[in-house]
Chains A and B, each alone.
Chain A
Amino acid sequence: MRGPRREVWGWLLAGLVVWTLFRAAEFDPALLWQGGQGALFDFAAGFWPPAKDGPFLSIVVLAVGQTLAMATAGVFFAAILAWPLALLATPVLAEPPGGVVFRGWCGKWTRAAIRGVLVVMRGIPDLVWALLFVRAVGLGATAAVWALAIAYAGMLGKVYGELFEMAREPAAALLASGSGKTGALVHGVLPVVLPDVISYTIYRWECGIRASVVMGFVGAGGLGQQIELSLRMFEGGQVLTLLLALLILVALADRLSAQLRRAFA
């Protein structure tokens, strides 16, 4: 049985940990009231009414379109990059088991190296990739597309690889009966994995839309860049309109993604 004294110590320790965390996070609600309560309320009140003049609305529509294009192109490139990476990272087409996937590639070490590359690609957050690309190729949508392509190729490569493992037996059977690697891929692996590959890729496209919105905050184009601009100019009404556009875009993308996945299922 636990004594009450031990329980008290437990609570004290938990309290100390929580206190330390909030101190390290420099948490101080008084900061919000620093400029007088008025400042916060003025800030919130500035958001009403939403901006709805013609020229601004056309900017919003263009920004939404650009965000959609960024996510679509980014995930498309990610999927193209992920296929060869996933094939190299898994032994599904290796013959004999533990051998090489493509002629001239040393099996085990290639797999380990490619796995490491995939870990780094998805381990560095997509927003960090976006910032690095903005510095390298300049402001705009291009940075977001390549950031998404790399970060998501890391994730897709891992998941495709796991799916390929499920096709090991049919692929091995085909290889054993003298079929070539291409034949084993097309007739052994694809039929097993394709539905799941498509479904997961569409799901990632849905995530990619959210990610591309956020990437705009580091200058990578689309809706996020517009929100950042309006916020910097203290145009609260414009920010509210853009946020509403964001909510509608994400909700519609969720629905479209669900429908597409059903169509391919």
Chain B
Amino acid sequence: MSAADWIVLSVTLTGIILYGIWRGRGEQTTDDYLVAGRTMPWYAVLLGIMATQASAITFISAPGQAYTDGMRFVQYYFGLPLAMVVISVTFIPIFRKQNVYTAYEYLEKRFDRRTRILTSFFFLLSRGLSTGISIYAPSIILSSIFGWNIYLTNVLIGGLLMTYSYRGGARAIAYTQPLQFSIIMCAMVIAGITIIMNLPPGVSAFDAVYLAGKAGKLNVISTDFDLNDKYNIFSGLIGGFFLALSYFGTDQSQVGRYLTGKGVRESRLGLLMNGIVKIPMQLLILLVGALLVVFYSMQPAPLFFNEQVYNSVKSAAPAQVVALDNEWKDVQDELQRSAVAVAGASETPATPAMIGDYRAAVNRAKDVRERFATLASRTGSVERSDVNYIFLHFVRTALPVGLAGLLIAVVFLASWGSISAAFHALASSSMVDIHLLLFNGGRTDKQQMVIARMHNVAWGVFCIMIAMFAANLGSLIEAVNILGSLFYGTLLGIFLTAFYLPRCGGRSVFTAALVAEVVVVTLWILDVVSFLWLNVVGAGVVMIVSMLVSLWSGYAVRSMRQ
């Protein structure tokens, strides 16, 4: 990185840290630390929700996802607006009326203590694991740029973010997230514009989009129904609806954000606006990835975007890598020639032969890259996918001076927003839903603050340990969503039973939750359905088994009375 990049990076990060410290200053009560005193306007709630969901993974992995698999990943968000409506109608009024700190507090009032503890345990497990994966994303960047040891980098990043949420609490997070998120979105738009400006002379933005379409990367909507297909309109609308309902309705890292709103109105408006802006935002980020396909059709691209893995495979199997490198050079020439031919013909329709040549070159490039990944796997490389390094490679090598620093700052800000909110949610839930329930006498406000901070540190250490194992998970954005889907269906089922099945009690829902979790994990291990459907299955099993158990226990009680 140049001096200008370093200046932009340091000024951006220092500015945000100082702003966070200034907003989070002063003596805090538990109410301030956990829900920012419930004083936030709707736009702060909105940006907090978006910044919590959009981690560094979103900005590193999503463009790479579009580069390798096209833009169909966006369908995963189609159920989100519907979920925002349901949460606004049902969840928010109940949580606000009960004046709870965590979503799980409500479950004790509705069912019993053990259901509350089980639900928060599921949440803590899934969120703790996925936050560990989220720490790994910014660590990739630092270790890739500076050649630092990835494990020490995990400790550094996790430690810094843990200290930040330890100090500031919900108030610092709620005030800095809007600022972080605004900078992030501006930088992503600039990155997209830079790709188009760096295309060869005569290739317009429309040409680039046209070529991306011909490369099969503008496959936004897929209408083929297949339970094993990860992203189609059906899994997006139905599975995505259940996943979003679980994530925003039952995950404390999100519930904690909209509980900071001044009232029901502010929380609802924040969520509904999220339902409007989320899909276009994600589409733009994926479009950056689709445009990168065009960019690297016309500019030299490495055979494998993860340089460290490339070098280690090359030293382990030099002859095979040299052969693949030679083949890759031929493919690059073929790609460039055919891409320029199709782009030049975009104002008059390109002939089927031209399009066929370009598609053949794209497929050949994919084949060569896959053969390298297989070779990497055979030579014992931990990372077999370079999907998380594609956008990063572009940032490092193609962006003008100053902008690379800003993009790297963006990735840090994104990690910061989501990971600090996650640490905070983990600490809030483990303290309020487990520690205070099991060990509490009547503690003072000051003692509770100390406990909350201790939980923050404990979760920081746990997540750093998980980050150490995240290297071999492939696309991080998929890994996080799969992990969420293993628990979210059950969590959602418990809450839906609480809201909509008034006859079901604590014993039936507790049993049903355990059964559902076993079913979901079994389906996942056997690979019966794509992961988005696990959310539907989990929620459905909890509700059906709860009804059956409560019917059976009612029948048993009646039989005994007779």
A and B: bona fide binding partners = no
Binding site for B on A (CB under 8 A): none
Q: Which residues of chain B have a CB within 8 Å of any CB of chain A? A: none
